[in-house]
């Protein structure tokens, strides 16, 4: 059952994972030092935000 889900949605799952990785890299290399940036100052915010963007982008590309 889970394997069928993964096979059916593999493009969106890959996009979500790549978005999460991009979010962490954005936090690590570009993030704010003083904490004033809402997204870039905390990896617990930037990773899910970019993962969601990756999901949305792959949803657009797949269609």
Tell whether 55 is covered by a domain.
yes
Tell whether 22 is covered by a domain.
no
Tell whether 12 is covered by a domain.
no
Distance CA 21, CA 59 (A): 18
Tell whether 56 is covered by a domain.
yes
Count up the domains in the chain and report the number: 1
Contact 27, 58 (CB under 8 A): no
Q: What is the pLDDT along the chain (63 residues), one digit of tens a residue?
A: 889 999 999 999 999 999 999 999 999 999 887 878 888 888 999 999 999 999 999 988 865
Give the global pTM. 0.86
Structure tokens at 30: 């570009």
Q: Is 24 left (phi over 0), alpha (psi -120 to 50) or beta?
A: alpha
- Per-residue pLDDT, 16: 96
Tell whether 20 is covered by a domain.
no
CA torsion through residues 42, 28, 17, 19, sign:
positive
Q: Which domain holds residue 45?
A: 27-63
Tell whether 63 is covered by a domain.
yes
């Amino acid at each position: 059952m889970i394997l069928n889900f993964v096979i059916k949605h593999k493009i969106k799952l890959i996009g979500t994972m790549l978005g999460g990785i991009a979010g962490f890299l954005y936090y690590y290399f570009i993030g704010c030092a003083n904490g004033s940036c809402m997204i870039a100052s905390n990896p617990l915010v930037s990773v899910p935000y970019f993962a969601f963007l990756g999901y949305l982008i792959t949803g657009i590309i797949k269609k």
